[in-house]
């Protein structure tokens, strides 16, 4: 099978990304764990539920902190659910690189044809 220049570029780009991803993911994981450790020691009310519970039992949390925590809890719970969709959707494209983003993750390679350009988030899957 002979590949076009665009397809070879696409494959090489994906190859580079898969080679770099283990290093990037390890650094991201270390950054998240470092942040969690730093927060645990510097401000345990943000990450340690047992510290919050003990402070609630002692009535030592100020009312303003309690209101702020009550406001931020729904935000902190909903943001991880809403944030990944717009960030990961554009990462999935057809091999031509010029097609509209494919917003549906499926198994198998996606193929964008010339007639599909400008039609929105559509693609044909092999």
What pLDDT, on a 0 to 100 scale, did the predictor assign at position 70? 86
Q: Which two tokens stand for residue 35?
A: 């942040």
pLDDT in tens, 60-80: 988 898 888 888 888 888 888
pLDDT in tens, 80-125: 877 776 666 555 544 445 444 444 444 445 555 444 444 444 444 4
Query: Alpha-carbon distance 29 to 82, whole Å?
Result: 20
Whole-prediction pTM: 0.50
What pLDDT, on a 0 to 100 scale, did the predictor assign at position 116? 45
Instruction: Name the 3-class secondary structure at 110.
Output: strand
Q: What does the radius of gyration of the chain's CA atoms come to, in whole angstroms? A: 23
């Amino acid at each position: 099978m002979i590949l076009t220049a665009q397809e070879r570029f696409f494959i090489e780009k994906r190859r580079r990304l898969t080679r770099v991803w283990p290093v990037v993911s390890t650094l991201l994981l270390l950054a998240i764990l470092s942040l969690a450790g730093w927060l645990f020691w510097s401000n345990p009310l943000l990450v340690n539920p047992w510290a919050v519970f003990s402070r609630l039992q002692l009535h030592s949390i100020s009312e303003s902190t309690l209101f702020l925590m009550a406001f931020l809890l729904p935000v902190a719970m909903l943001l991880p659910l809403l944030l990944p969709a717009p960030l990961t959707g554009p990462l999935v494209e057809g091999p031509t690189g010029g097609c509209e983003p494919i917003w549906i993750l499926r198994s198998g390679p996606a193929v964008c044809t010339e007639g599909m350009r400008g039609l929105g988030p559509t693609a044909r899957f092999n």
